[in-house]
Amino acid sequence: MPPLPILALAVASFGIGTTEFVIMGLLPEVAQSFGVTIPQAGYLVSGYALGVVVGAPIVAIATARMPRKKALLALMAVFLVGNLGCAVAPSYALLMAARILTAFAHGAFFGIGAVVASNLVPREKRTQAIALMFAGLTLANVLGVPFGTALGQIAGWRATFWAVVIIGLAAALAIQLCVPAGLPGTRGRLVSEFRALGRWPVLRPMLISTLSSVSFFTVFTYITPFLTGVTGFTPQGVTGVLFAAGVGLTIGNLAGGQFADRAQMATIIGSFLGIVAALLLLAAVAHHPGMTLVVLVLWSALVFALVSPLQIWVVEAASDAPNLASTLNQGAFNLGNAAGAWIGGTALTLGAGYGELPLIAAAVSLAGLGLVLTAVGRSGRGIVSVSAPGA
């Protein structure tokens, strides 16, 4: 059984993941409530992602010297205040402000939490520990988002945010009771630590993290019109497909942690190769519902198999500033979320069809793979190496 502190972190990541993604299922209700269009309500998704990007370095600095448990509890307090603000927001503008405030806790929590989780287990299980913490995020897509959407449709969208507040309170209590108090914050000078983050061996895995996210969200942002307009699923059928994809990404996340603790670079390279193949196959079988379902589940699993290996790569490459690097890498992932949605939208505006988006995403993944291979070539080590190259 996983250590209780990691389970406590997973509960928190479940709440954070739910509040990040559930808004997508509540856009019609929110739009109607405030008298805005659905595209305008959709800016709440972009606002959250950009809040993570902007907030990550700010909160990293603010919490750098705090003991890790105190920092995690402070971030959960921000999370709770933000979601309370969402639940009672009297206007669209204040709801956006509350979403952005909530997002400020996101990057730092996952960044600090990943370092804490990796330090609570033996070195050979560090990636698995991070994957277990991130399992809360993946389970949010499987359970939190569909149940939160259903609750919002039945009882009003505000009820969903009240439910998230309850999850946040449970997570804060679990962290208070289970996470050890003796984990210190940053001890060196912040200026020197940020200078350390400017090294290419640290920036490279962050850039790879961004590209992996760009690739995923180039397609996934538009997955509903892809499935209904190209593949021929009904709107009700899309719900089932997305649930299956959520199961796939949960399994992939846990499997990625297991494999990466044995062969980190081989796992990253193999995942990228699989992603490229899956995207090319998705473009080829897009008109066949059964085959599309299988490929989507496989693709989702491969994408999330990358998350914990890339996170531990950044942490190990920035051994003199692991908490800051881990937090900023969460900003890199979310920058990829926003960029992927923009690239996909731009392609559609210029005349591309939904069925062509997987080809664009495959090209982005190939760029990410190329960067990984330069790291292996630079280090002069084989891809079966357990640890990531540091140069």
193 has a pLDDT exceeding 90? no
The candidate with the shortest Cα–Cα distance to 200, out of 318, 309, 114, is 318
Residue 383 has pLDDT above 50, yes or no: no
pLDDT interval class at 382 (50, 70, 90): very low
- At residue 376's C-alpha, the angle toward residues 374 and 381, to 5°, is 150
* Confidence label for 31 from pLDDT (cuts 50, 70 and 90): confident
Higher pLDDT, 207 or 50: 207
Instruction: Give me the pLDDT at residue 49, please.
Output: 84
**What distance in Å separates the CA atoms of residue 356 and residue 147, rounded to the nearest whole number?**
32
User: Which pLDDT band, with edges at 50, 70 and 90, does 72 fall under?
Assistant: very high
Residue 2 pLDDT class (50, 70, 90 cuts):
low
φ and ψ at residue 39, rounded to 5 degrees: -60, -40
At residue 95, does pLDDT exceed 80? yes
Rounded Cα–Cα distance for residues 221 and 214 (Å): 10
Q: Which two tokens stand for residue 267?
A: 């796992």
Question: 365-391 burial, b if ≥16 CB within 10 A, otherwise e?
Answer: bbebbeebeebbeebebeeeeebbbbe
Residue 379 has pLDDT above 60, yes or no: no
Tokens of 142: 């499987």
What is the per-residue pLDDT for 381? 47
pLDDT confidence band for 391 (50 / 70 / 90): very low
CATH architecture of 1-185: Up-down Bundle (1.20)
Highest CATH level, class, for 189-391: mainly alpha
For residue range 135-190, list pLDDT tens digits in order.
888 888 888 888 888 888 889 999 999 999 999 999 999 999 998 887 776 665 66
pLDDT in tens, 340-362: 888 988 898 899 999 999 999 99
In this model, does residue 387 exceed pLDDT 50?
A: no
pLDDT in the model for residue 236: 77
Tell me the C-alpha distance between 380 and 149, whole Å. 49
The more confidently predicted of residues 32 and 273 is 273
Please name which of 320, 128, 352, 127 lies closest in space to residue 219, comparing C-alpha atoms.
Answer: 352
Matching fold, domains 1-185 and 189-391? yes
Give the mean pLDDT of 305-314: 92
Q: What is the pLDDT of residue 24?
A: 75
Domain ranges for the chain, please list them.
Answer: 1-185, 189-391
Amino acid at 6: I
The pLDDT of residue 45 is 80
How far apart CA 25 and CA 243 sit, in angstroms, is: 13
- Going by pLDDT thresholds of 50, 70 and 90, the confidence category of residue 384 is very low
pLDDT in tens, 241-258: 888 988 998 999 999 999
Give 26's DSSP letter.
G
The percentage of residues in the chain with a pLDDT greater than 90, rounded to a whole number, is: 45
Q: What is the mean pLDDT of the chain?
A: 87
DSSP code per residue over 295-355: HHHHHHHHHHHTHHHHHHHHHHHTTTSHHHHHHHHHHHHHHHHHHHHHHHHHHHHTT--GG
pLDDT tens digit string along 271-296? 999 999 999 999 999 999 999 999 99
- Of residues 198 and 230, more confidently modeled: 230
Average pLDDT over every residue of 368-391: 65
Q: State the pLDDT at residue 84.
A: 97
pLDDT of residue 127 exceeding 50, the answer is yes
d(CA 27, CA 355): 24
Q: Is there a contact between 329 and 205 (Cβ–Cβ < 8 Å)?
A: yes
